[in-house]
Chains A and B, each alone.
Chain A
């Protein structure tokens, strides 16, 4: 286990298309977080899971965003009908029970 991994690392898509990102956490970590980071800002919380249960969603997460963690292991974040404002770095983090865990390398999304 080499840490949190994310796929793809970069995604360029046209406005209106759907995209899906994947995060593989550290195997023994039961918490998984998604954050979004735009230029000049710190990461902003989007949602988190404890095992397979999604426990909180930020108001930043519009209806076009959906996240799943079906078996309590990897997670996917889907954005439907992408908009230019969705362009950002999407970060995944995992931890055991509490925040302050390990971050992945991120997926950079560019919407043209």
Chain B
């Protein structure tokens, strides 16, 4: 079955600390993975997708097919990074399957 697991509901760090938001997936096909972010009182926004291999707002994510993971990383967290982060898996290029999300809190 297709599944996305985000094991942490909440991750708290201090400003300037490294951040790693974990995402593991289960899918027998060729995965396409995304990270979405939702800031307070705003809509879901696409942060990055693995096929683009880009860095947005200092965040990167590498697809590890051996570990079936797509962890989101940032070397130095900023207070404005505080938000809800969702990992999502594209199935058959038709729809997204989301994880339950991780709330990132960055303290000053």
Interface, chain A (partner B; CB < 8 A): 4, 33, 35, 40-45, 48, 55-56, 91, 93, 98-106
Compute how far the CA of A106 lies from the CA of B93 in the bound complex, rounded to whole angstroms: 23
Given A42-B100, A43-B98 in contact, is the A99-B93 Cβ separation under 8 Å?
yes
Interface, chain B (partner A; CB < 8 A): 4, 9, 32, 34, 36, 43-46, 49, 86, 88, 90, 93-101
Interface secondary structure of B, over-half rule: strand
Contact B94 A56 (CB under 8 A): yes
Q: Chain B residues with Cβ under 8 A from A56's Cβ?
A: 94-95
Min distance, Cβ B25 to any Cβ of chain A, angstroms = 13
Q: Chain A residues with Cβ under 8 A from B100's Cβ?
A: 40-42
Further pairs besides A100-B88, A102-B46: 10, Cβ < 8 Å: A4-B43, A35-B98, A42-B98, A43-B98, A48-B95, A55-B94, A91-B44, A100-B46, A103-B36, A103-B44
Compute how far the CA of A102 lies from the CA of B42 in the bound complex, rounded to whole angstroms: 13
Q: Chain B residues with Cβ under 8 A from A103's Cβ?
A: 36, 43-45
Q: Chain A residues with Cβ under 8 A from B36's Cβ?
A: 103
Compute how far the CA of A99 lies from the CA of B32 in the bound complex, rounded to whole angstroms: 10
Q: Chain B residues with Cβ under 8 A from A45's Cβ?
A: 95-97
Q: Chain A residues with Cβ under 8 A from B34's Cβ?
A: 100
Compute how far the CA of A55 lies from the CA of B94 in the bound complex, rounded to whole angstroms: 9
Contact A99 B43 (CB under 8 A): no
Q: Chain A residues with Cβ under 8 A from B94's Cβ?
A: 48, 55-56, 99
Q: Chain B residues with Cβ under 8 A from A100's Cβ?
A: 32, 34, 46, 49, 88, 90, 96
